Structure 1
Amino acid sequence: MNTIDEIKDQIANNPIILYMKGTPEFPNCGFSAQAVEILSICNQQYAYIDILKFPLIRKELPKYANWPTFPQLWINGELIGGCDIIVEMFKSGKLQILLNSISSKKNNKNNINNK
């Protein structure tokens, strides 16, 4: 499987996925930390990819997403955006509405870094 197919598979198989630097427990940048904090406040489980461990994903995802920075939040197969958009949507309440619309039975906090 090539890297783009792997990214497509990750996005398709995880209703909420955060591509970030580090892990939710140990974010490696302030923007990733902010995204994790907001998802925690929203009490949502999510999958994540530590892009620092996967240089090919780190290189190819910005091209695939047409979004140059990390973190990247994807919900139901759609790119929501980076930290600024996550914060803006959270403050307006739109993020909570979107997250609450996802079936909790499909929602698992997965570390898909260990393939």
Structure 2
Amino acid sequence: MTETPTTEISNDPVHAFIGQTIAEHPVVLFMKGTPDTPRCGFSGLVVQVLDHMSVPFIGVDVLQDEALRDGIKAFSDWPTIPQLYVKGEFIGGADIVKEMFQSGELQALMNEKGVAGEA
């Protein structure tokens, strides 16, 4: 007999919110602060990269809710914030985004996913 797999997401309202946000928006940045006023240098770095590339994105301020701050780390199994998602795919944090941007890989990914800006 095969069991239907169940996930925490369906039982956890924070994970459900994260999943829904990622599903509804092509580019999502879970960050400390907002895109206009980042509250950590790493979040600010990713905002600068996305702005430089003219990629439209939404920022979700994890400092507003401790459950969300902890939940995003569990959701992605990634210990740090910020976290960038493109078309539902977890890309990484500030260091990965910076490396991908410098190598041209991030622009290629945005083009491939159909979310490239006008830069």
**Residues 17-47 of structure 1: per-residue CA shift (max 9 Å, x gap):** 0000001111000000100000011111001
Compare relative contact order (CA 8 Å, sep 6+) and give the higher one, 1 or 2. Answer: 1
| Higher alpha-carbon Rg | 2
TM-score (norm 1): 0.85
Aligned residue in 2 for 1:97? 108
How big is the shift at 1:7? 0.7
Match of 2:83 among 72, 80, 83: 72
Deviation at 1:103, TM superposition (A): 3.7
Counterpart of 1:57?
68
Amino acid at match of 2:89: E
1:7 to 3, 18, 27: 18
1:41 to 45, 48, 52: 52
Aligned residues: 105
Question: TM-score, normalised to structure 2's length?
Answer: 0.83
Aligned letter for 1:26?
T
Query: Which ranges in structure 1 are unaligned for 5 or more consecutive residues?
Result: 108-115
State the identity as a percent: 40
Whole-Å separation in 1 of the counterparts to 2:47 and 2:56: 10
Unaligned 5+ segments in structure 2 are 1-11
Distance in 1 (alpha carbons) for counterparts of 2:111 and 2:66:
32
1:113 maps to which residue?
A: none
